[in-house]
């Protein structure tokens, strides 16, 4: 589990220099929410983001999009970006390239069926686990792979909300891509941490952007 704490991203960047983690952007924070859409939780996040005029990126699980199409529409209607997080939250290390890419395409089809035709196909590997062969296949099909540089640890029940909050504010800076989860597992911490993070960076004059708000060329 330590692999996913904030010390890891520098190593990730070293291993995967072509993948997007921190973005060159002054006074902007890129909030990302993985694993939704989920009833009650995603709408709560959307309302809170609206209170701060914040935009974010939601890395959706395909089967959750199919189960919760109305919430998926709310994400889009509120002007957020959406990315692909596979259809069944696959672990790339345990999946063949064919299974992994098909599972990802199935989510892209769910997006299409729900009237979402993105200009840019953002993809985030569940658990951050993806083989180079899978990543190359996705990049060849036009996906942009988005990692992160700060992970809140909101899903980790061994971490207090206070510790999650400290994880974020001690590690995030201009252009940071921060991982949260709009999932039932993470909600215990998310409900306390997200309002504080929004307040903290708003007071410092930061804006919250979605990944479609910046040109990613050269990133």
User: Residue 33 or residue 206: which is nearer to Zn ion going by CB?
Assistant: 33
Query: Quick one: which of 72, 78, 142, 137 has its CA closest to 102?
Result: 137
- What is the smallest separation between the CB atom of 198 and Zn ion, expressed in angstroms? 21
Give catalytic residues, as residue numbers: 34, 181
Q: Residue 38 has which token pair? A: 């989920």
- What is the smallest separation between the CB atom of 61 and Zn ion, expressed in angstroms? 7
- What is the smallest separation between the CB atom of 53 and Zn ion, expressed in angstroms? 26
Alpha-carbon distance 54 to 90, whole Å?
29
The reply on whether position 182 binds Zn ion by CB under 5 A is no
Among 9, 22, 23, 34, binds Zn ion (CB under 5 A): 34
The reply on whether position 126 binds Zn ion by CB under 5 A is yes
User: Residue 28 or residue 31: which is nearer to Zn ion going by CB?
Assistant: 31
Query: Quick one: which of 24, 26, 15, 29 has its CA closest to 168?
Result: 29
Alpha-carbon distance 138 to 83, whole Å?
13
The reply on whether position 35 binds Zn ion by CB under 5 A is yes
User: Residue 22 or residue 124: which is nearer to Zn ion going by CB?
Assistant: 124
Alpha-carbon distance 88 to 175, whole Å?
29
Q: Residue 60 has which token pair? A: 């959706």
For residue 20, what is the DSSP state?
B
Interface residues toward Zn ion, by CB under 5 A: 34-35, 126
């Amino acid at each position: 589990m330590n692999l996913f704490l904030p010390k890891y991203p520098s190593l990730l960047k070293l291993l995967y220099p072509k993948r997007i983690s921190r973005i060159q952007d002054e006074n902007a924070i890129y909030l990302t929410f993985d694993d939704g859409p989920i009833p009650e939780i995603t709408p709560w996040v959307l309302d809170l983001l609206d209170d701060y005029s914040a935009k974010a990126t939601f890395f959706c699980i395909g089967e959750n999009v199919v189960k919760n199409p109305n919430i998926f529409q709310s994400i889009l209607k509120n002007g957020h970006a959406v990315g692909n997080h596979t259809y069944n939250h696959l672990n790339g290390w345990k999946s063949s390239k064919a299974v992994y890419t098909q599972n990802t395409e199935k989510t892209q089809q769910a997006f299409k069926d729900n009237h979402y035709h993105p200009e840019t196909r953002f993809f985030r590997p569940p658990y951050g686990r993806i083989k180079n062969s899978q990543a190359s296949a996705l990049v060849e099909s036009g996906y942009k792979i988005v990692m992160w540089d700060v992970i809140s640890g909101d899903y980790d029940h061994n971490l207090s909300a206070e510790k999650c909050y400290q994880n974020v504010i001690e590690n995030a800076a201009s252009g940071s891509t921060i991982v949260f989860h709009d999932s039932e597992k993470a909600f215990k911490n998310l409900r306390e941490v997200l309002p504080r993070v929004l307040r903290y960076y708003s007071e410092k004059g930061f804006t919250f952007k979605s990944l479609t708000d910046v040109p990613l060329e050269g990133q």
